[in-house]
Structure 1
Amino acid sequence: MSPLLILSVALQIACAVHVVRTGRPMYWIFILLVGSFIGIAVYFFAEILPNIGSSRTARRAVRGVRDRVDPEHGKRRAARQLEVADTLDNRRRLAEQSMASGDYQQALALYQKSLTGLYKTDPDLMLGVAQAQFALSQPAQARATLDALIAANPNFRSSEGHLLYARAVEATGDIDAALHEYDAVAQDFPGEEGRVRYAQLLKRAGQRAKAAEVFNESIKRTSLAPKYYQRDQRAWVDLAKRELQDLA
Structure 2
Amino acid sequence: MVTQVFNKRDLDKVQNEIVSVINPTKKVNDLRRQVEFADTFQNRINLADALYEIGDYKSGIGEYEIALKGNYTSDPGVVKKLLEGYYQTNEYQKVIFCAEHISKRSDFKGSRSQFLYGLALEEEGKSEEAEKNLKPIDQRYSNYEERYTLAKFFLEKGKDADAKEILSEIVLESQHMSKPNRNRYRGVVNDVKKLLTSLS
TM class by shorter-chain length?
0.7 to 0.9
Shift of residue 118 of structure 1?
A: 7.7
Q: Structure 1 residues 78, 65: closer, same or farther in 2, change over 3 A? A: closer
Deviations 1:119-147 (A, max 9, x none): 75310121122122112211121112111
The answer to whether residue 198 in structure 2 is matched with residue 246 in structure 1 is yes
1:205: Cα distance to partner? Answer: 1.0
Structure 1 residues 86, 65: closer, same or farther in 2, change over 3 A?
A: closer
The residue that corresponds to 2:96 in the other structure is 143
**Identity of paired residues, percent?**
23
Moved more, 107-116 or 83-92: 107-116
Q: Post-superposition shift, 1:242?
A: 1.9
Query: Retained in 2: the 8 A contact 1:95–1:108?
Result: yes
- Show the counterpart of 1:155: 106
Q: Which amino acid aligns with 2:66?
A: K
Residues 1:188 and 1:161: Cα distance change in structure 2 (over 3 Å): farther
Distance in 2 between residues matched to 1:220 and 1:120, nearest whole Å: 41
* Higher mean C-alpha displacement, 189-198 vs 111-120: 111-120
Q: Which one-letter code corresponds to 1:240 in the other structure?
A: V
Q: Report how far residue 226 of structure 1 moved.
A: 1.6
Residues 35-70 of structure 1: CA deviation (Å, up to 9, x unaligned): xxxxxxxxxxxx9xx7xx97xxxx6xx957852x32
Q: Write the mapping of 1:4-19 to structure 2, written as runs, cut at 5 A.
A: none
Q: Residue 84 of structure 1 corresponds to which residue in structure 2?
A: 37
Are 1:175 and 2:158 an aligned pair? no
- Distance change >3 Å, CA 222–CA 73, structure 1 → 2: farther
Any conservation in 1 of the 2:72–2:98 contact (CA below 8 Å)?
A: no
- Against the structure 1 CA distance between its residues 66 and 242, is the aligned structure 2 distance closer, same or farther, given a 3 Å change threshold? farther
Aligned length: 192
CA-atom RMSD in angstroms: 2.9
Aligned counterparts of 1:231 and 1:96: Cα–Cα separation in 2: 26
Residue 218 (structure 1) aligns with: 170
Q: Structure 2: how far apart are the matches of 1:129 and 1:189? A: 27
Q: 1:109 aligns with which of 55, 62, 65?
A: 62
Q: Distance in 1 between matches of 2:18 and 2:130?
A: 35
The structure that is helix-richer by fraction is 1
Q: Provide the secondary structure at the position in 1 that maps to 2:138.
A: helix
Q: TM-score by structure 2 length? A: 0.81
Kept in 2, the 8 Å contact 1:121–1:149? The answer is no
Partner SS for 2:24? coil
Which whole-Å CA distance do the structure 2 matches of 1:130 and 1:72 have between them?
23
Q: Distance in 1 between matches of 2:193 and 2:107?
A: 34
Greater gyration radius: 1
Query: Alpha-carbon deviations, 1:1-47, whole Å to 9, x = none?
Result: xxxxxxxxxxxxxxxxxxxxxx89xxxxxxxxxxxxxxxxxxxxxx9
